[in-house]
Amino acid sequence: MSELSLKTIIFPAAGLGTRFLPATKACRKELLPVVDKPLIQYAAEEAVDAGFEQIIFIVRKGEKSIARHFSDVPDLRQKLAKTKTQLEVDALTRTIPSSVECRYVEQSEPLGLGHAVWLARSFIKEEHFAVLLTDDLIDGGLHGGCMTQMMELYKKNKCGAIGVEVVADSETKKYGIVCTEDTSAKVSKIITIVEKPSPEKAPSRLGVVGRYILPTSIMSVIENTEHGVGGEIQLTDAIAATLEEDRIDAYRFDGVRYDCGSKLGHLQANVAYARKNKELGADFSNWLSNEVM
């Protein structure tokens, strides 16, 4: 892993989660469950499966709930061991392996995704690093997690990559949109990237999803990036400037993405993951079929 100079992944998790109020008044958006696990745990499992050795969580000032979720709770573990099944004990302790180093960095002001990524700069020593947005829950199925797929691509190309998928014309204003050398290829060099363009100004229909492998040199670019769309420091703008010096590919991942930053996407993810759950999938699918009929 280390010889590829890619072992660190950043989880920006300092958003306000206003779309899910009042639920997010007392619970972080990243801790909202999909069936029986919070979104951020799915993200952590994807990162661990891909072989990352360091996860950097960017959290709001004073935020402790995410760290608590991933920390050991010896008293509760011992209590469950006496009264519950091993399966239930494992559910408590199966979060992040001790071999993976977790760091928590506070973002005192909501200055944008670019700023959130930049805050992790002092902990990155390798040539490239990754970014995973927990709002985008991706089920890679038999192909493996999206970050595992992108790590395999990195082993071959040894350059940056961004996960993309085709979005509807009316949706371009919600995404970073890329233009590539070959718009039909599974992997193609990015020529330009634009943050949330209107449909008539979008260079393509390839929308960026929350999976990135980026050159560490982009940190100095972010530092000099002016406030963009929404008055925030946009990671997209820094990537656009970086393309002049570093190759970054667009990668059409295998799998299904659920936009859990929206209520509809979160509901869709819960239904999809409940249906394939080993414990309750059959019963839930039967119930769902009867309800729909």
Summarised one tens digit per residue, pLDDT across range 226-237 is 887 777 888 999
Quote the radius of gyration of the chain (alpha carbons, Å). 19
DSSP string, the chain: -GGGT--EEEEEE----GGGTTHHHHS-GGG-EETTEEHHHHHHHHHHHHT-SEEEEEEETT--HHHHHHS--HHHHHHHHHHS-HHHHHHHH-SS-TTSEEEEEEESS---HHHHHHTTGGG--SSEEEEE-TTEEEE-GGG--HHHHHHHHHHHH-SEEEEEEE--GGGGGGSEEEEES-TTSSEEEEEEEEES--TTT-S-SEEEEEEEEEETTHHHHHHTPPP-GGGS--HHHHHHHHTTTS-EEEEE-SSEEEETTSHHHHHHHHHHHHHT-TTTHHHHHHHHHHHH-
The two beta strands, 8-13 and 128-132, are: parallel
Higher pLDDT, residue 237 or 81: 237
Rounded-to-integer distance, Cα 187 and Cα 164, Å: 10
Query: For 208-232, what is the mean pLDDT?
Result: 89
Q: What is the pLDDT of residue 88?
A: 67
Q: What is the pLDDT of residue 74?
A: 65
Query: For 237-263, what is the mean pLDDT?
Result: 94
Query: For 109-137, what is the mean pLDDT?
Result: 94
Higher pLDDT, residue 61 or 58: 58
Check pLDDT > 90 for residue 260.
Answer: yes
Check pLDDT > 80 for residue 77.
Answer: no
Q: What is the pLDDT of residue 14?
A: 86
- pLDDT single digits (tens) 154-195: 999 999 999 999 999 999 999 999 999 998 899 999 999 999
Check pLDDT > 60 for residue 2.
Answer: no
In this structure, of 94-108, 210-224, 232-246, 263-277, the range with the lowest mean pLDDT score is 94-108
Query: For 80-106, what is the mean pLDDT?
Result: 76
Half-sphere exposure of 227 (CA within 13 A, CB side): 6
Higher pLDDT, residue 264 or 71: 264
Could you give the percent of the chain with pLDDT greater than 90?
68
231 CB contacts (<8 Å, ≥6 apart)?
A: none
Domain ranges of the chain: 2-292
1 band by pLDDT with thresholds 50, 70 and 90:
very low
17 band by pLDDT with thresholds 50, 70 and 90:
confident
CATH architecture classification, 2-292? Alpha-Beta Complex (3.90)
In this structure, of 66-75, 104-113, 126-135, 139-148, the range with the lowest mean pLDDT score is 66-75
Query: For 10-24, what is the mean pLDDT?
Result: 88
* pTM of model > 0.75: yes
Rounded-to-integer distance, Cα 162 and Cα 59, Å: 23
